[in-house]
Structure 1
Amino acid sequence: MTDHAAVLRTASSSSFAPTAIDRLARRAVLARLARISRGRLAVHEGAHVQAFGESSPDLSATIRVRDPRFYRWLAQRGSLGGAEAYLEGLWSTDDLVAVVRVLARNQAALAGLDAGLARIARPGLRMLHLLRRNTRGGSRRNVAAHYDLGNAFFEIFLDPTLTYSAGVFERADATLEEAQIAKYRRAIDALRLGPDDHVLEIGTGWGGFAIHAARTTGCRVTSATLSAEQHARATERVAAAGLADRVEVVLRDYRDLRGRFDKLVSIEMIEAVGHAQLPGYFRACSERLRPGGRMFLQAITVPERDFAASVRNVEFIKRYVFPGGQLVSVGAICDAIARAGSDLQITALGDVTEHYATTLRIWRERYLAAQAQVAALGFDERFRRLWEFYLAYCEGGFRERAIGTIQLTLVRPN
């Protein structure tokens, strides 16, 4: 990653005289950073450097403060304010993933950053998140806010399968495309797909799984999406692959699907369902599966101890990237299945967290190498920094296992 100091819209810190509030905020933030005990974080303010953490760390990171308002944003809005300060160019770094990883390792010690003044903003943030709840209309708006940025944008950093979920790298030298196909093979094997099967896919993406499954197994696929952009492009890709007789892409909410299917697949769509809607999601899945049917679910998770807090809090991803989004946990999935009155049973669980970190690294490298293309699509500097932060934030989270990725196989009894 390159340091973006030369292109920041804000001037260097020497151009701004800190106010009394900035000085108080700085004192409070540095006192919190002094609690770092795992890894090392260096804070540069012009020629002045303060380092926190281990003297001989296995992980180190550097923050360069470009504007003293950085401390105020962090003190007043907590970790979300730190992210927002990055979007505004108030600080920079030459390794954003390392910064995220050091902070993730010291999450308990730094919890105070999200207390105090940062609590004042929470009710407003929660209200905004509640206004984005996943009713049918809300889900359409939330999906459009992210996925309808334009197919050309996502094509910049995705592989030729246009898959926007974790791949599985079966070899150290595997390409991203090979990793995505390996993930599809795992899903196909878990579902035991054959030419007589009719598969329901909830969450089309750009049609990568549907195309691969129909082409390699001869099965029929009905794939549902709420994104108009994805629906149009996936339909085009299905036709170009000569599979229009095997694959149907529908623009429809999962709650409005009808019929019975032999198999069901949902790859990283559950994060868009919403906590309150989880039982309804599994009820719909159960109703769409025939007795004896199999389901493959890939989901991004949070640790059980953090799930309740993640439902309450509105962090960077919910606020700026996936409105209405909510990660799940294994326990939350089991609870939702039970509350749905579903007879779905989990028969296998696999962890692919480390593979998501690698997937995100490749996406981030491709994205950063194509900044001129992103700008040419009409996206301004703040948007470009937001997506850089998003990709690095997720990669760092997966590398430190602050978040995870699982693959579940579920079965409906005969």
Structure 2
Amino acid sequence: MSVSSPSELDPRRRLTKRGRRGVESTEFVAAPLPLGVTTRWLRGRIISRLASLDLRDVEIADAAGVHAFGLIEKANDSSGDGDRAARIEVLDPRFYRSVACGGSLGFGRAYVDGEWTTPDLPTLLQRLARATVGNARVEGPATWPARIARTIRQLGRRNTRRGSRRNIHAHYDLRNEFFALFLDESMTYSSGLFEGPETTLAESQIAKYDRIAQRLQLNQRDHVVEIGCGWGGFAEHAASRYGCRVTGVTISQAQFDYARRRIAAAGLDDRVEIRLCDYRDLQGRYDKLASIEMIEAVGHEFLPTFFAKCSSLLKPTGLMMLQAITIPDQRYRHYRRSVDFIQEYVFPGGNVPSVGAICDAVAASTDLRLLELADFAGDYARTLLAWREACQANAARIAALGFDDRFQRTWDYYLCYCAAGFLERQIGLAHILLAKPQAR
């Protein structure tokens, strides 16, 4: 049965079997679903809290009926997707307790647990992001115990050498076969740059690699060090297209094994070396340095250490290109003192820095100077939604690898949650070009 339309929603029904991630349908059976006194009270508090936000075109449907927020009547509506209310369909009354006690993170957890669903998760999360940016009212006093517990857990995920290996293993060593089912053929797990509406995901990744290489002025005489080389996509591209030598480092065993096989298969063993190595243990001097979305795994307290190491690895004429997910400076302090869905369920130990935090660390610990700063937030939203589409198309194959429905719903929420953040500019994607004093 497809997800109920407003006229079809049966308040006596509840979810008894969850569909596969990405399949916009839900199986229901007739069963009583009364809202008890406590649930009704929690429901009222949550609706009141949401009503205090500038929430537009969102509605909640449950056993008690439908509550709409900021719906705008549209004459001659042709039912375009942008004109429809984004709908939260409550499938289990425990949803209200999850949100009341867990706030925005509890809302995400409730989706993972199958307590609610929606016909259009990307649109819903974008509208919620638009309404809640910079607004703490969504997190009531009842969320404080859970927030304190999450903060304590996060303190145990510091990115020391040992902690970094543990945190990276938890995400990147899931299985190469899993990542291959939603990444493009270059196995690139970072944002691409889309040059036009017809640009494919694979083309966007090559465009990203080329922009980084060109801003670094790569040539055959260069020896490049890449901190956080992933599955070896940039290293292979830089060596094969620009003729430079590349030393790439990762602390993921799965990525290391894959990247070495890849480089050997490409016949680039003489130009590319892949090391299983923490960036803090790197030695030597290089002409250029690239780091593509690795800084999010560094941690705020280790930003000066990271940039000091980068600076020490560069020759006096060296250049460094950083691709980094960033958060606005105005929100960074609050972000650092809280734990979001990504940190709790996807990237343990993750920290998205602000541009100001990056610049402060560079100024305090290096002789690097800022040459360029560009933002490509919209490109990341498009990348994430392309990954989600691939995950939806390969849901059965992902399940066959042993990743259950709950895991797939976690990733569905993660990808849509991040896309919403980029679309609403709650987070950005920066290309930051830094130079040593003698670079020209």
Please give the TM-score of this superposition, normalised by the length of structure 1.
0.96
Partner of 1:148: 173
The amino acid that maps onto 1:366 is: A
Q: Are 2:153 and 1:136 aligned?
A: no
Give the whole-Å Cα distance in 2 for the aligned partners of 1:79 and 1:143. Answer: 25
Whether the 8 Å contact between 1:11 and 1:66 is mirrored in structure 2 is: no
Partner of 2:210: 185
* Distance change >3 Å, CA 110–CA 34, structure 1 → 2: farther
Provide the secondary structure at the position in 2 that maps to 1:172: coil
Shift of 1:108: 4.9
Q: Which runs of 5+ in 2 are unaligned?
A: 5-14, 20-26, 75-81
Partner of 1:197: 222
Provide the secondary structure at the position in 2 that maps to 1:237: helix
Give the whole-Å Cα distance in 1 for the aligned partners of 2:207 and 2:164. Answer: 30
Q: Are 2:400 and 1:383 aligned?
A: no
Whether the 8 Å contact between 2:35 and 2:64 is mirrored in structure 1 is: no
Whether the 8 Å contact between 2:34 and 2:63 is mirrored in structure 1 is: no
Partner of 2:434: 410
* Distance change >3 Å, CA 162–CA 290, structure 1 → 2: same
Whether the 8 Å contact between 2:133 and 2:426 is mirrored in structure 1 is: no
Give the whole-Å Cα distance in 1 for the aligned partners of 2:104 and 2:378. Answer: 24
Partner of 1:43: 60
Partner of 1:27: 44
Give the whole-Å Cα distance in 1 for the aligned partners of 2:321 and 2:300. Answer: 20
Provide the secondary structure at the position in 2 that maps to 1:180: helix
Q: Deviations over 1:188-242 (max 9, x none)?
A: 0110000000000000111000000000111000000010000000111001111
Whether the 8 Å contact between 2:381 and 2:420 is mirrored in structure 1 is: yes
* Distance change >3 Å, CA 157–CA 102, structure 1 → 2: same
Provide the secondary structure at the position in 1 that maps to 2:353: coil
The amino acid that maps onto 1:40 is: D
The amino acid that maps onto 1:83 is: G
Q: Are 2:365 and 1:348 aligned?
A: no
The amino acid that maps onto 2:203 is: E
Whether the 8 Å contact between 1:35 and 1:109 is mirrored in structure 2 is: no
Whether the 8 Å contact between 2:374 and 2:430 is mirrored in structure 1 is: yes
- Give the one of 234, 241, 246 matched to 2:259: 234
* Distance change >3 Å, CA 26–CA 180, structure 1 → 2: same
Please give the TM-score of this superposition, normalised by the length of structure 2.
0.90
Provide the secondary structure at the position in 2 that maps to 1:106: helix
Give the whole-Å Cα distance in 2 for the aligned partners of 1:337 and 1:50. Answer: 49
Partner of 2:398: 374
The amino acid that maps onto 1:389 is: Y
Whether the 8 Å contact between 2:377 and 2:422 is mirrored in structure 1 is: yes
- Give the one of 56, 79, 99 matched to 2:104: 79
* Distance change >3 Å, CA 198–CA 366, structure 1 → 2: same
Partner of 1:332: 357
Whether the 8 Å contact between 1:294 and 1:409 is mirrored in structure 2 is: yes
Give the whole-Å Cα distance in 2 for the aligned partners of 1:235 and 1:74. Answer: 45
Shift of 1:128: 0.4
Whether the 8 Å contact between 2:373 and 2:433 is mirrored in structure 1 is: yes
Q: Deviations over 1:70-112 (max 9, x none)?
A: 0111011100100010011000001111111111111158632
Whether the 8 Å contact between 2:16 and 2:29 is mirrored in structure 1 is: no
Q: Are 2:80 and 1:55 aligned?
A: no
- Give the one of 160, 172, 179 matched to 2:185: 160
The amino acid that maps onto 1:198 is: H
Whether the 8 Å contact between 1:75 and 1:113 is mirrored in structure 2 is: no
The amino acid that maps onto 2:225 is: L
Q: Deviations over 1:126-145 (max 9, x none)?
A: 11001010010000000000
Provide the secondary structure at the position in 2 that maps to 1:300: strand
Give the whole-Å Cα distance in 2 for the aligned partners of 1:260 and 1:7. Answer: 57
- Give the one of 302, 307, 312 matched to 1:277: 302
* Distance change >3 Å, CA 116–CA 49, structure 1 → 2: same
Give the whole-Å Cα distance in 1 for the aligned partners of 2:16 and 2:210. Answer: 45
The amino acid that maps onto 2:382 is: T
Shift of 1:396: 1.1
The amino acid that maps onto 1:368 is: Q
* Distance change >3 Å, CA 381–CA 288, structure 1 → 2: same
Give the whole-Å Cα distance in 2 for the aligned partners of 1:362 and 1:140. Answer: 29
The amino acid that maps onto 2:72 is: S
Q: Deviations over 1:20-72 (max 9, x none)?
A: 33222111100012124353101111472111014148564110000111011
Give the whole-Å Cα distance in 2 for the aligned partners of 1:30 and 1:383. Answer: 29
Q: Which runs of 5+ in 1 are unaligned?
A: none
Provide the secondary structure at the position in 2 that maps to 1:104: helix
After TM superposition, the structure 1 stretch with the greater mean CA deviation from structure 2, 49-58 or 322-331, is 49-58
Provide the secondary structure at the position in 1 that maps to 2:132: coil
After TM superposition, the structure 1 stretch with the greater mean CA deviation from structure 2, 97-106 or 256-265, is 97-106
- Give the one of 266, 279, 282 matched to 1:254: 279
Give the whole-Å Cα distance in 1 for the aligned partners of 2:183 and 2:432. Answer: 24
RMSD: 1.9
* Distance change >3 Å, CA 254–CA 373, structure 1 → 2: same
Shift of 1:115: 2.7
The amino acid that maps onto 2:162 is: G
Partner of 2:320: 295
Partner of 2:8: none
Give the whole-Å Cα distance in 1 for the aligned partners of 2:320 and 2:32. Answer: 58
Q: Deviations over 1:150-198 (max 9, x none)?
A: 1000000000110000100112101111100000000001100000000
Give the whole-Å Cα distance in 2 for the aligned partners of 1:12 and 1:394. Answer: 33
Give the whole-Å Cα distance in 1 for the aligned partners of 2:311 and 2:30. Answer: 57
Between the two proteins, what is the percent identity of the paired residues? 49
Partner of 1:17: 34
Whether the 8 Å contact between 1:63 and 1:92 is mirrored in structure 2 is: yes
